[in-house]
Structure 1
Amino acid sequence: MTPEQLRAFCLDFDAAVEEFPFGPRTSVFKVGGRMFALGALDARPLTVNLKCEPENAVRLRAEHPDAVVPGYHMNKRHWNTVTVSGLPAALVRELIEDSYDLVVAGLPRAERPRRDRP
């Protein structure tokens, strides 16, 4: 997955926006004002911080120790830093989608975007 593909995938979710609160190099993808993905898209290797259920986070770190680590500068219980090139693109997309879904589930019902993804 390229940085452009990562950006396009994140922005394809309903009500998703890209912001730069930490400077022009760090993309922050949000829904309902809350972050679901964060990364420097020009970094090599390309990494992205993603929200994750705590049990899943531990499992993913054990299964993919070279590609999934506790979230850098994040709550290590709920966030993972994923090295994109270390995982199949389909799994990266699944982890991004799970992160988005977790954030949407935490929004007040009236603020949740309608879900059109297949």
Structure 2
Amino acid sequence: MSPKELRAYCLSFNAAVEDFPFGPRTSVFKVRGKMFALADLDARPLTVNLKCDPEDALRLRAQHPGLIVPGYHMNKRHWNTVTADGGLPDRLVRELVEDSYDLVVAGLPRADRLRLDRP
């Protein structure tokens, strides 16, 4: 997955926005003010921090050692750092981004979730 594809996919979700609270190099993708993805789109290798269910996070790390690791500078129980530049199938990276978005949306207040027209 290229940086351009990653950015476009993150922004394709309902109410997703890109923000730069950590400086101009770090893209933070949010929904209703809550982060669901964080990446330096100019870095090589391209990695993205994604929220993950704790049990799934452990399973994914075991299945993809070196490509999915505990979240860099994040709560390692709930976040993974995913190498997105070819070591993993693009389909899996897209699924992990969507899962991260869905987890964040699930934690939003009910009124915000209803505005997003998502369960």
Determine whether 1:86 maps to 2:87: yes
1:1-118 to 2 correspondences below 5 Å? 1-84=1-84, 85-112=86-113, 113-115=116-118
CA deviations on 1:55-109 (whole Å, 9 max, x unpaired) are 0000000000020000000000000000012210000000000000000000001
Partners of 1:66 and 1:86 within 8 A in 2: no
Q: CA deviation at 1:114?
A: 1.9
Taking the aligned partners of 1:95 and 1:55, their CA distance within structure 2 comes to 14
In structure 2, what is the Cα distance between the partners aligned to 1:106 and 1:114? Answer: 14
Instruction: Quote the offset at 1:38 in angstroms.
Output: 0.1
Helix, strand or coil at the partner of 2:18: strand
Q: What TM-score do the two structures reach when normalised by structure 1?
A: 0.96
The one-character-per-residue Cα deviations of 1:17-76 (angstroms, maximum 9, x if unpaired) are: 000000000000000100000010000000000000000000000000020000000000
- The one-letter code of the counterpart of 1:114 is D
Q: Distance in 2 between matches of 1:93 and 1:108?
A: 25
RMSD: 0.6
Distance in 1, Cα, partners of 2:23 & 2:87 = 26
TM-score (norm 2): 0.95
3-state DSSP of counterpart to 1:76: coil
8 Å CA contact 1:17–1:31 kept in 2: the answer is yes
Post-superposition, which runs of at least 4 consecutive aligned residues in structure 1 deviate over 4 A?
none
Q: Percent identity?
A: 77
- Structure 1: where are the runs of 5+ without partners? none
